[in-house]
């Protein structure tokens, strides 16, 4: 998914709990679903950023030689300005774009 084109807010927005738990019927289930999706999004963004920054990396023996590359800084700033993974996950949940399922319940042993 293209996280750069999301409609998620960049700043923190107060959410109405009554609207969030309508689909699951339980606010805690909604929080778990969104937090797991936010972890997936954060991992994807981190991997994408690291892949782009690898192009600029070069290895030297001297740790004191740190070269700053303007393009590398601009890429990092771009990713910092993106909405946070939790905001993206909440927006996806509200739009119904997150697929989730419940684990099968074990039968009673009574």
Sketch the domain layout of the chain as residue ranges: 14-56+66-95
Neighbours of 56 (CB within 10 A): 13
**Mean residue pLDDT across the chain:** 83
The model's pTM = 0.78
Backbone phi, psi, residue 61, to 5°:
-80, -25
pLDDT of residue 110: 55
100 pLDDT above the threshold of 90: no
Q: Which residue has the tokens 């910092």?
A: 80
pLDDT tens track for 23-50: 888 999 999 999 999 999 999 999 999 9
Q: Six-digit token pair at 80?
A: 């910092």
pLDDT of 59 reads 61
In this structure, the number of other CB atoms found within 10 A of the CB of residue 49 comes to: 16
Percentage of the chain with pLDDT > 70? 83
Task: Classify residue 25 as left (phi > 0), alpha (psi -120 to 50) or beta.
Answer: left
Tokens at 107, concatenated: 């039968």
């Amino acid at each position: 998914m293209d996280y750069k084109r999301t409609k998620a807010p960049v700043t923190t927005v107060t959410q109405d709990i009554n609207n969030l738990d309508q689909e699951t019927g339980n606010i805690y289930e909604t929080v778990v679903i969104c937090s797991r999706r936010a972890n997936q999004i954060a991992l994807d963004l981190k991997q994408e950023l690291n892949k782009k920054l690898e192009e600029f990396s070069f290895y030297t023996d001297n740790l004191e030689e740190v070269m700053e590359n303007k393009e590398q800084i601009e890429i990092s700033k771009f990713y910092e300005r993106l909405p946070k993974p939790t905001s993206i996950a909440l927006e996806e949940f509200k739009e119904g774009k997150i697929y989730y399922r419940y684990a099968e319940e074990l039968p009673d042993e009574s």
